Structure 1
């Protein structure tokens, strides 16, 4: 199995979600199944079927989280430095068309959330930025078309 690069913060979030699903969600769902069973005939018991589906979804996510955690390659971004963009970098960009400033941190896939400014190492934006430095211009092909950004800052913060 391939290792999954992830920041310390991303790893902690995975562990927290796993703990929540195992210690809070699992018992809650088991209780819901027990209550639904008590209602009688299971063949036409919507509550029972809904609870079983919730159990299936929860257990699937638990397995996924356990796999991610076991394959995680934790990278302490605070110990990184340099003038080139690499995993963990927080990059300040200027959109050359709109002059809008954007800031992204390049993170592992499990912790990516564009709305929070965290882009996956495998995303088009991150792939375009890797290896570049301040002052470089990058072209990014997105579903909405091409974008051109100038890198105006690179920092490594945990």
Structure 2
């Protein structure tokens, strides 16, 4: 079984996002790709038909993505808002920390790896910062090994993610 049955931890928002992408791929994108294949087939000779090859590759990608998303939903453990505690950092919490080196206040939302989006400060529970913060309490100082060295955070606040 291995990777395929790995449990995916999602928030309700994460589930909705995956369902929306799935719906888009199954309806809009599948039709587009099918149309591209039909158009490419009308050009005749498939041996030198790059449009056909591209369309078939795109189709393989779309179908692969659909399978991945369906698998994620099948193995999803959806976080129940009521199970999210704010006494310690856990998946589904937003953590306000002070970066003690730069004296910056930062806010991270801890999410399952499927929802991670560092640009939006949504940090995976499996990433170094997420892993380092999990289980910690307000007032704790946490030293975390990051790619470019070591960062020290002081936890200022823990709240449920919106």
TM-score by length of 1: 0.95
Alpha-carbon shift at residue 81 of structure 1 (Å): 2.7
Structure-2 separation of matches of 1:107 and 1:18: 20
Structure 1 regions of 5+ residues with no counterpart? none
Query: 2:84 corresponds to which residue?
Result: 80
Instruction: Say if 1:87 and 1:121, in contact at 8 Å, map to a contact too.
Output: yes
* RMSD value, Cα: 1.2
Query: 2:53 corresponds to which residue?
Result: 49
Bigger relative contact order (CA 8 A; separation at least 6): 1
* Alignment partner of 2:95 out of 91, 95, 100: 91
Instruction: Say if 2:86 and 2:93, in contact at 8 Å, map to a contact too.
Output: no
* Alignment partner of 2:10 out of 1, 6, 24: 6
Secondary structure of 2:48's partner? coil
* Alignment partner of 2:72 out of 61, 68, 72: 68
Structure-2 separation of matches of 1:4 and 1:79: 16
Residue 137 (str. 1) matches residue 141 (str. 2)? yes
Structure-2 separation of matches of 1:116 and 1:82: 21
Secondary structure of 1:150's partner? strand
Alpha-carbon shift at residue 145 of structure 1 (Å): 1.1
Secondary structure of 1:68's partner? helix
Residue 39 (str. 1) matches residue 65 (str. 2)? no
Residue 17 (str. 1) matches residue 16 (str. 2)? no
Structure-2 separation of matches of 1:144 and 1:78: 37
Secondary structure of 1:57's partner? helix
Structure 2 regions of 5+ residues with no counterpart? none
Q: After TM superposition, where is structure 1 displaced by more than 3 Å over at least 4 residues in a row?
A: none
What is the aligned length?
158
Structure-2 separation of matches of 1:81 and 1:133: 11
